[in-house]
Chains A and B, each alone.
Chain A
């Protein structure tokens, strides 16, 4: 008797799971394509902020290259090309801030000069650390035009650490993390420059990520 009741309850619950599961599958089917489209649009929007439109004629969000950074993590590099030639690249770089990782989208031209930097996401203290957002202040804009040699590497720090970048009143850790993320991003670009420039000509090799041969670019 009691085992029969258990069976009935199980069947009822199973039927509900099946029904709602089907409903979810259907909704997923209907919305999947639109959601993917929106994600691409979002990426294009954030890329458009760090790569000026004048230097590319391709779709930034689809011409990508996956490379490994020093920590062994995969970094997706979005390439700007004009008439088939690589003119710049954008990629995400991050560094732990006051609470959680701060993600920065960085656009760089071929000389390693920053075309633009934007904070994509962060969990910093509202009112103190959130001035790194372009919506709350123009602090992040001051990186545009800088590169690894300008200022020299040992000045790529906040003022408190002997560098050249301002911290905010009451928040040092946040700007320090952003400066670090951008500096590391530039170093990543520097280390992978040849691979990035070879895009299109040797797409297959680069995309397979199996090009450990770090011989100096001789086809340049």
Chain B
């Protein structure tokens, strides 16, 4: 059986996007997107953990029974998160100071569980890893976009402190879009997360609807 990696990528990034389509992992999505940098950091940490843990689940998929699969999933994700947490604390401490807060939150993200159940437990390691990775990247994209919208409207900056997360080379990302003290405070508070996530959902549905209509029209014209 060959795997269509391009389809996996499209699924993870757009059609089946964890946040905007499956609406999973909304707790970290709401909590961690008060700036684009935070969203990006949370997304990257989640993507790393998901890639590693989907691989593990897939490797062990023939060794655990259906009845105990949920505890095993919990075990795997909790172990991976703890390992990532400890390693980052020890060897990537600057990054840990920025991301440290987010990492334990990955445990409560439903997205990895959904992928374990739907994909990794049924597929061989490599496609599972690819699925975990693309789902993670899709999650990262959604969080970064939500974070960017909230940060611009709320504090008037974009990617503030990105150099702390990604290193000094990414200083150029940090910019001020609006003059200081003009932001709408509500946008970086929890209500802003709900508003922006909702608006993005609407936007995605509208784009999907338009493209499916276009596909129907072209199908109809070619049939005629």
Bits for A34-53, please: 1 = Cβ < 8 Å to B, else 0: 11001001100000000000
Distance A17 CA – B97 CA, assembled complex (angstroms) = 30
Contact A8 B82 (CB under 8 A): no
Per the 8 Å Cβ criterion, residues 1-33 of A in contact with B are 8-9, 12-13, 16-17, 20, 23-24, 27-28, 30-31
- Cβ-based interface call for A191 (8 A): no
Q: A23-B83, A24-B79 are in contact. Are A34 and B90 (CB under 8 A)?
A: yes
- Cβ-based interface call for B93 (8 A): yes
Per the 8 Å Cβ criterion, residues 145-164 of A in contact with B are none
- Cβ-based interface call for A62 (8 A): no
Query: For residue A16, which residues in chain B have a CB less than 8 angstroms away from its CB?
Result: 60, 64, 71-72, 75
Contact A24 B90 (CB under 8 A): no
Per the 8 Å Cβ criterion, residues 117-151 of A in contact with B are 125-128
The number of residues on chain B lying at the interface, defined by a beta carbon within 8 Å of a beta carbon of chain A, is 27
Task: Tell me the smallest distance from the CB of A19 to a CB of chain B, in Å.
Answer: 9
Q: A27-B86, A35-B90, A127-B183 are in contact. Are A20 and B79 (CB under 8 A)?
A: yes
Query: For residue A28, which residues in chain B have a CB less than 8 angstroms away from its CB?
Result: 86
Considering the complex, give the chain A residue whose CB is closest to the CB of B60.
A16
Contact B75 A20 (CB under 8 A): yes
Contact A125 B89 (CB under 8 A): no
Contact A125 B64 (CB under 8 A): no
Query: For residue A126, which residues in chain B have a CB less than 8 angstroms away from its CB?
Result: 34, 155, 185, 188-189
Query: For residue A24, which residues in chain B have a CB less than 8 angstroms away from its CB?
Result: 79, 82-83
Distance A35 CA – B72 CA, assembled complex (angstroms) = 28
Considering the complex, give the chain A residue whose CB is closest to the CB of B78.
A20
Q: A24-B82, A127-B188 are in contact. Are A38 and B76 (CB under 8 A)?
A: no
Partner of B63, one of A9, A12, A41: A12
Contact A35 B86 (CB under 8 A): yes
Bits for B149-160, please: 1 = Cβ < 8 Å to A, else 0: 000001100000
Contact B87 A27 (CB under 8 A): yes
- Cβ-based interface call for B91 (8 A): yes
- Cβ-based interface call for B4 (8 A): no
Query: For residue B89, which residues in chain A have a CB less than 8 angstroms away from its CB?
Result: 31, 34-35, 38
Task: Tell me the smallest distance from the CB of B180 to a CB of chain A, in Å.
Answer: 10
Given contacts A20-B75, A34-B90, A127-B154, 8 further A-B contacts (CB under 8 A): A16-B71, A23-B83, A30-B90, A31-B87, A35-B90, A127-B155, A127-B185, A128-B185
